Amino acid sequence: MGKKKVAFYTMGCKLNYAETSTIARKFSNLYYQHVPFKSYADIYVINSCSVTRNAEIEFKHIVRSARNKNSKAFLVAIGCYAQLNPKEVSSIIGVDLVLGYEEKFKIIDYINRKWFLKKKDYTKIISKKTYLPSFSVGDRTRSFLKIQDGCDYKCSYCVIPMSRGPSRSESIENILKNIRFLFNKGVKEIVLTGVNIGDYGKNTRLYTFFDLIQAVDQIQEKGRIRLSSIEPNLLQDECIEFLSKSKHFVPHFHIPLQSGSNYILGKMHRRYRREFYQEKVNKIRCFMPDAYIGSDLIVGFPGETYKHFLETYHFLKKLEISYLHIFTYSSRPNTKSSTIQENVSKKIQRKRNQVLRVLSNKKYRFFCKRQIDTKKTVLFEKNSHNKEYLYGYTENYIRTKMLLNSYNSSTYENTLQDVFIKKIDKDGIMIAEPIN
């Protein structure tokens, strides 16, 4: 009997990618053949997201896509959508099994006895107080390492605390061990990820996020480390100063803003005002002028008037950030914002989204142009499609390409190379030349 073919699909955040990779490693190559999700497989595993309603709709399309490849395949749903609404997910045609937060890491046990499960079975939802370590390796140039899970915040629009549970953290010792393992395995860049990484250590009261980054920076192995999204009120000034002198951490920040209107920030139950956010950005620019600073924005939040939107627009226009990740507000069940009656029409939401996208593109190009004629270090990715260029990211997260030739094709893949930034192309990608 041949090996069963298994395929994985990840939706949503970097944390999901770390967990999918960890779960995939449980499928031993001795008994299973890992294949791309677009291929025929006997088992499909979808790691779902529930941040927006669109993510849940997309999940159904992905299920249909898998069923079209093999109508007899066994399809397992995991992730936040599966955890938050297991009955709804189990009712979707094509889904055979729904696994909750802790059960998804026991997926092999369920697969091995799948024929004894009832059709549309789903596991009992647990308290989500267990911490389950995860990291990705082997499938990307960089690795996502989970350091924290869950969130104690009560933002009025967010379902993540309901799907992920309270804030809890990995020990510093285990994080350092995993970082050393990944660097020694050939990984050149690690992204520290979680739901609310700035809250790291809060549940233990033994150490803080600042303690962690200081310990990580003492590692002797070579490689660079990136932070995933961090709340502005948890990014301490002492952390910014330390990161500016770090030997491992790169000058890259993703700091969610959500709105440039203090009124809307209050309605969202965010823990800062826009003036505080601006101070954080100014602090970073003071210590790291070329740092990449990305941000999240939600447009069309209930009660957001044209005046509130203009406040956001003009605030962002003056703010020295590099890029905006823009979400259109999506009402989520059992959140406080879902009870607010002052809904913004879909048409206005789309228009505001587009206005901010244009602004984001202008800011990104302006940021990139400032990097022309400077030396950067690029982590080049595998050239899997015989492209004309090798692609990668600079330390400050600028998408960069370099002309492919016989000297750099395989030699430069998955390596850190010093380059000289020459110009920016029409797609906003920087063109570089090797310094040597």
357 burial type by CB count under 10 A (0-12 exposed, 13-18 middle, 19+ buried) = middle
| Percentage of the chain lying above the pLDDT 70 cut | 94
- Non-local (6+) Cβ contacts of 313 within 8 A are 260, 355, 356, 359
Q: Give, in degrees to the nearest 5, the angle at Cα 21 between 20 and 26.
A: 95
- Phi, psi angles (nearest 5°) of residue 243: -65, -30
pLDDT per residue over 230-258, tens digit each?
A: 999 999 999 999 999 999 999 999 999 99
- What CA–CA distance (Å, rounded) separates 418 from 319? 30
Residue 409: pLDDT band (50, 70, 90) is: low
The alpha-helical segments, DSSP class H, found in 160-273 are 160-164, 172-184, 209-216, 237-244, 262-268
Inform me whether the pLDDT recorded for 118 exceeds 60.
no
pTM over 0.85: yes
Q: What is the mean pLDDT of the chain?
A: 92
Residue 119: pLDDT band (50, 70, 90) is: very low
pLDDT per residue over 414-425, tens digit each?
A: 899 999 999 999
pLDDT per residue over 347-361, tens digit each?
A: 999 999 999 999 999
Rg from Cα positions in the chain: 22
Inform me whether the pLDDT recorded for 122 exceeds 60.
no
Residue 30: pLDDT band (50, 70, 90) is: confident
Whole-number pLDDT of residue 129: 67
Contact 168, 212 (CB under 8 A): no
**What would the DSSP string read from start to end of 186-201?**
T--EEEEE-SSGGGTT
Residue 114: pLDDT band (50, 70, 90) is: low
39-57: average pLDDT: 94
240 burial type by CB count under 10 A (0-12 exposed, 13-18 middle, 19+ buried) = middle
Residue 28: pLDDT band (50, 70, 90) is: confident
Inform me whether the pLDDT recorded for 276 exceeds 80.
yes
262-291: average pLDDT: 98
Whole-number pLDDT of residue 120: 47
Run of H or E residues at 7: strand 4-10
Whole-number pLDDT of residue 112: 81
- What CA–CA distance (Å, rounded) separates 58 from 49? 9
- Non-local (6+) Cβ contacts of 20 within 8 A are 8, 10, 45, 47, 136
**What would the DSSP string read from start to end of 304-365?**
--HHHHHHHHHHHHHS--SEEEEEE----TT-GGGG---PPPHHHHHHHHHHHHHHHHHHHH
pLDDT per residue over 260-274, tens digit each?
A: 999 999 999 999 999
Residue 117: pLDDT band (50, 70, 90) is: very low
- What CA–CA distance (Å, rounded) separates 420 from 435? 6
Higher pLDDT among residues 376 and 31, named by residue = 376
Residue 139: pLDDT band (50, 70, 90) is: low
- What CA–CA distance (Å, rounded) separates 403 from 335? 49
Whole-number pLDDT of residue 138: 76
Higher pLDDT among residues 311 and 384, named by residue = 311
pLDDT per residue over 148-174, tens digit each?
A: 999 999 999 999 999 899 999 999 999
**What would the DSSP string read from start to end of 95-158?**
--EE--TTGGGGHHHHHHTGGGSPTTEEPPP---------B--SSSSSEEEE-EE------TT-
- Residue 399's closest CA among 389, 407, 412? 389
120-147: average pLDDT: 74
Phi-psi region of 335 (alpha: psi -120 to 50; beta: other; left: phi over 0): beta
Inform me whether the pLDDT recorded for 397 exceeds 70.
yes
Inform me whether the pLDDT recorded for 124 exceeds 70.
no
- What CA–CA distance (Å, rounded) separates 28 from 312? 50
Phi-psi region of 218 (alpha: psi -120 to 50; beta: other; left: phi over 0): alpha
Residue 427 to residues 295, 361, 430: CA-CA distances in angstroms?
20, 10, 9
What are the structural domains of the chain?
4-122 (3.40.50.2300), 130-250 (3.30.750.210), 252-370 (3.30.750.200), 375-434 (2.40.50)
Higher pLDDT among residues 2 and 57, named by residue = 57
Inform me whether the pLDDT recorded for 1 exceeds 70.
no
Inform me whether the pLDDT recorded for 126 exceeds 60.
no
Inform me whether the pLDDT recorded for 22 exceeds 80.
yes
pLDDT per residue over 173-205, tens digit each?
A: 999 999 999 999 999 999 999 999 999 999 888
- What CA–CA distance (Å, rounded) separates 436 from 426? 26
Q: For residue 287, what are its two tokens? A: 């210590």
30-48: average pLDDT: 95
367-376: average pLDDT: 96
Whole-number pLDDT of residue 115: 46
